[in-house]
Structure 1
Amino acid sequence: MSFRELSSSEISDRAGKINSILEDLSIKRLDSAELGEKAKILEEIYSSKYRHGYEGILDVIRNIEKTHSSGGNQSASEEDQEMDSLFFLTTNLDDLKEHIRIGSYSVDTFNGIVRLSDHVKLEIHRLRDLQEQDYQKEQMTRTIKELLAKSENLASEVKIAQNNSEKLQMHMVAILGIFAAIVMAFSGGMNLLSGSISISGDSNLCNVVFVVVLCGIILFNLIAFLIGSIMSIIHPVICDKEEGHSQKGIFNSKLLIAFNGLMMSLLAADVVIMICL
């Protein structure tokens, strides 16, 4: 038995009908009457030794997923809708294949539906693999972006730590130098005070008091200045705008003024006593 050769327009028309049938099979589970209608259409399509093409099946399956994910039951998740559509498609293809096998249809029709069913299932599996690869790529891209962001934060923290370390080294050198100056000032002041007292040992008490008070004023203010320099390096003095004074302690300006005022008063009183005597 001879078959006429199909034209390109007939081949394209039959391919379009197969794509339309696949879309119809993905909507719902078909009953026997509906399977018979589809079988008759396939009988006509697969006549004249027609073989469907394989290049457009994947696009049809993708379109089925896209269509059913945007319509239908809005309360169902997108994944459930896509799985339902592909489940209907594969199930209806199996039912249609069995319907044609037991019915009075040609061998070409049965072989055509068998090849179509196998190819659809293969393309569904291929689509799932592609989707899984795309998902893994997205996850990898997201992970890389997160790692890059963390690395930038770590680099910034390392830079800050390096700057703080350099500042700390400078502060330590300054503090050690000031401590050495305090020790030298204290020891030198003590030597000066003891020498002054020994020299004025034969003088009256007013002269001794004058020398001691004067040396005490100079030594106290010098040591207070040096310790204040250390404190300003370790922790800057913070002014209280509401109370209008600095931190409490030996470096409180009011305390320093009071101490110096007291010493100056003692010094002035000593001078007055020496004049009177």
Structure 2
Amino acid sequence: MTDKEKTGELLSLIDALCDVNFAKEQNNIDGWVSKLNKVYSNEYRHTYSDIFFKIQQIMSDTLSNNDASDTEVLEVLGENLNVLGNRIDELAAQNSDDANYKNTVSGYKKFSDHIRLEIGRYNFIKSRFTGTAADGNSGKATDKHSAIDTERILKLERAVDATRPIVAQAQKQLDSLDEKLESNKISSITTLTIFSAVILAFSGGITFESGIFEGMVASTSYRLVFTIALSGFILFNTIFALLYLVGKMAGKRISTKCKYMVNADDNYNQCQSCGDGYCTKECAEVSIACRIFHKYSYVLAIDAILLYVLYTDFFLWYSKGVLLSPAFYLPQIFLILIIIASYCVHRVRKNRRLKRIKMHYKVAILTDILEPKAPMASALIRLGEIISKSFYGSPSRSAKDSFLDTVKARQLNKDDALNYLDEFIDEYLIADCRTSISVSKREHRINCKKWKELSGKFTVLSQK
């Protein structure tokens, strides 16, 4: 247990000692004795100020709640102190060889003595105040002590009562500040350690490169460029990784803000989550590659340049510096084809995701038309809020009503209405980041089966 937890246990014990039923259960008393053995272990010492504030708080609550008189509460507190103290002495005598009981006896004596001191002080002040008030409004004491102003005492008492919650709140804030300072201390030490590692990595890399370059005086320029690019690639990524760890521990980010990410929850709860926000990119596919491209583009650009230098320099060395040699331009053409193929694959995947999203909306609209009260499939439940919400500036019209109104106005038959549904999706629903939702391949297969079923049932008369 920490010192703060031990202090909390003692303050809880004071509350328990104010209960008239405290001494009625032996198990309860023995339980507190066991807790006190843990509290007063390792030479823990309580502070009188904590006991002072606790007693004052109990008296203030008693006077404000009127549940019992302050005299009764103090009497119960004093009696329970004696009961608990006698039980501690009894168990200490039975376990005379146990050092924990010795510490508990010593600590509890000081604890009870401080409480009795505060009780005596409270009763003395109360008796002085009561005696002065009973003497009339003359404002003078009946003994040879100095005169006491009753009204002034009342004002001071009210001021003290008003100060107590402020003091308690300040104590909590101080405790919280101590915890934050301790946390910041640990975080600062860790951050400085990693920064030192960054400096060591940088200086070590420079020393390593200088040693290599000294031994490459007679080397070719191709080998020199290749070594510089490789060393730069390793050193840059090592330093970036260390700075990334520093940012994580300090609660700061070293990435750029993605232009597609929003933090608001309104109208974006169907979008894919990305970090602490939502991705609003069309046909979004949140992945590691996507995060690197949009959040760490500067890292990607530098690494791409260094890797291209390594790649080109190798084949330039292999072709002996002849740019028109097949050993040089064929790898370059191959690299260009790889980039083009990657772009084509990306476009194909994006088009497939868009088709899945459009099918998702089409099935949702037909389900809302033909089965408005039937339970929707799990793939459509996520879309329910979008279907029921307003769109395209119309606060009172749903997607289903807008679609049926257009079909009725154009007097479309069944086939034309189903074909128009694609146009309707493009015109109305593929907006406001609605293409940012994610539809899995399994959901798409379910939607396709549902589409065949619903399109067979759909008729133009279903709108009436």
Higher relative contact order (CA 8 A, sep 6+): 1
Which of the pair has more CA radius of gyration?
1
| Normalised TM-score (structure 2) | 0.28
> Larger helix proportion, structure 1 or 2?
1
| Normalised TM-score (structure 1) | 0.45
